[in-house]
Amino acid sequence: MSVQSASADLGELMERLGRNAAAAASVLALAGTEAKNAALSAAAGAIRAGAPRILEANARDMSAARAADVTSALLDRLALDDRRVESMARGIEEVVALQDPIGTTAAAWQRPNGLRIQRVRVPLGVIGIIYESRPNVTADAGALCLKSGNAVILRGGSESRYSNAAIHACLGEGLKSAGLPVDSIQLVPTTDRAAVGYMLAGMTDYLDVIVPRGGKSLVARVQQEARVPVIGHLEGNCHVYVDRDADVRMAQSIALNAKMRRTGICGAAETLLIDRGCIDTHLVPVIRTLLEAGCEVRGDAAVQKADERVHAAAEEDWFTEYLDAIIAARVVDGVDGAIAHIARYGSAHTESIITGNQATAERFLQRVDSAIVLHNASTQFADGGEFGMGAEIGISTDRFHARGPVGVEQLTSYKYVVRGAGQIRP
């Protein structure tokens, strides 16, 4: 087959996926909560029942990945076991338990002329999700899109192709058993990288929004090529600021948790800022707590003085999302110094201030322009579940449409329903 006809075939394939999704979306938009929940429960059951098949598919992906000599971090993200499969099934059941946003009234009011206006939540339509190696995204994202009444086209990483296909088959069983269109959740059945290009720019008639979940190169490609709206998930270069009025033990405990509880999530702290006004009292205990937990500290001159195990930080450290047991640390001039540092180096994801001073806290909370700002709490609370919003697609670092955790409500649009009694406009 020539390259040209392969690409024509891909175009036809993607066009068909788009048409199928649009047709499914128009049915899903009117589907009741019961049908959607029935499909999800059946999908969770199919995943449990299909665990052997899923693990077998995953073993194929793993051996191909090992043969391709990928990083151990990628292998870890790719690997499934009984526990991870069970947690996928349970994740879907958590989505069942969420309130269905579709058809709910976001606001309602009456006008002096008697018109009753209601803002009602409706699905976005068709969502395209482009993600990398984690196979559980197939289940999570499929479930969240279905619950919010959206059809979805999933484009997973080639490393997890067999795992994704096996999980996707279980979602399809769920849809079928509930009488919903199986095309509600479609998986792009090719690893051809050109398929991503179609999703970004060639399917504007079908896709209402694209959600990229992956590293910097994917995000950069999406920003350059996308012709449909995007819910972006950029990096989380998160900060903890220890103020002069912080309780030292609280500062130790939060800094440790924010950095070390899990280092690989986007809400993990990457830079510690310490108020110059409490170098003598707070700097040493907080830095030692981190060092003793096995965290590498890269500090400015003042932080290096605190402990000889501290390495020297370079300018680029302030920009870096390590996603590892490494933290950059710097002394700043009070809360305004912290605000200025975050404005310059941060990624507007999640930042926390530790202080006992209410006025200082409010200044930080108001002036730091990030999706999530916390007072006396760990940055690792940056999570839809921890916010009480249920499962999430991720944490949006965009300001448009959705900011912070993206759960079912953020996957909706709305329309205005206006009820009158013959009103005409004067």
Smaller CB distance to a copy of itself: residue 158 or 376? 376
Which amino acid is present at 207?
A: L
Query: Closest Cα partner for 238 from 390, 346, 318, 396?
Result: 346
Residue from 13, 23, 27, 29 binding a copy of itself (CB under 8 A) = 29
Query: Minimum distance from CB of 276 to a copy of itself (Å)?
Result: 23
Burial of 203 from C-beta contacts in 10 A (0-12 / 13-18 / 19+): buried
Pick out residues in 211-230 that bind a copy of itself (CB under 8 A): 223-224, 227, 229
Query: Minimum distance from CB of 46 to a copy of itself (Å)?
Result: 31
Smaller CB distance to a copy of itself: residue 122 or 323? 122
416 in contact with a copy of itself (CB under 8 A): yes
48 in contact with a copy of itself (CB under 8 A): no
Is 368 strand, coil or helix? coil
Residue from 152, 374, 393, 406 binding a copy of itself (CB under 8 A) = 374
Neighbours of 164 (CB within 10 A): 30
Is 73 strand, coil or helix? helix
30 in contact with a copy of itself (CB under 8 A): yes
What are the backbone dihedrals phi and psi of residue 270, each rounded to the nearest 5 degrees, phi first? -120, -25
Look-up of token digits 């195990």: 309
Six-digit token pair at 2? 């020539």
90 in contact with a copy of itself (CB under 8 A): no
Residue from 6, 220, 314, 418 binding a copy of itself (CB under 8 A) = 418
Q: What is the DSSP string of 79-94?
A: ---HHHHHHHHHHHHH
Cα 186 to Cα 165: distance, rounded to the nearest angstrom? 10
Query: Closest Cα partner for 103 from 40, 30, 26?
Result: 30
Q: Report which secondary-structure segment, H or E, holds 51.
A: helix 51-67
Smaller CB distance to a copy of itself: residue 191 or 358? 358
387 in contact with a copy of itself (CB under 8 A): yes
Query: Minimum distance from CB of 243 to a copy of itself (Å)?
Result: 14
Cα 173 to Cα 351: distance, rounded to the nearest angstrom? 42
253 in contact with a copy of itself (CB under 8 A): yes
203 in contact with a copy of itself (CB under 8 A): no
Look-up of token digits 């405990």: 253
236 in contact with a copy of itself (CB under 8 A): no
Cα 215 to Cα 232: distance, rounded to the nearest angstrom? 11
Pick out residues in 115-144 that bind a copy of itself (CB under 8 A): 115, 117, 122, 124-125
Q: What is the DSSP string of 205-230?
A: TT-SEEEEES-HHHHHHHHHH--S-B
250 in contact with a copy of itself (CB under 8 A): yes
Smaller CB distance to a copy of itself: residue 78 or 251? 251
100 in contact with a copy of itself (CB under 8 A): no
Query: Minimum distance from CB of 403 to a copy of itself (Å)?
Result: 6
State the DSSP code for 402: -
Pick out residues in 323-362 that bind a copy of itself (CB under 8 A): 343, 361
Helices (H), ranges, 237-300 = 248-260, 284-292
Chain residues in the site for a copy of itself (CB under 8 A): 26, 29-30, 109, 111, 115, 117, 122, 124-125, 204, 208-209, 223-224, 227, 229, 247, 250, 253-254, 256-258, 261, 343, 361, 365-367, 369-378, 380-381, 386-388, 398-401, 403-404, 413-425
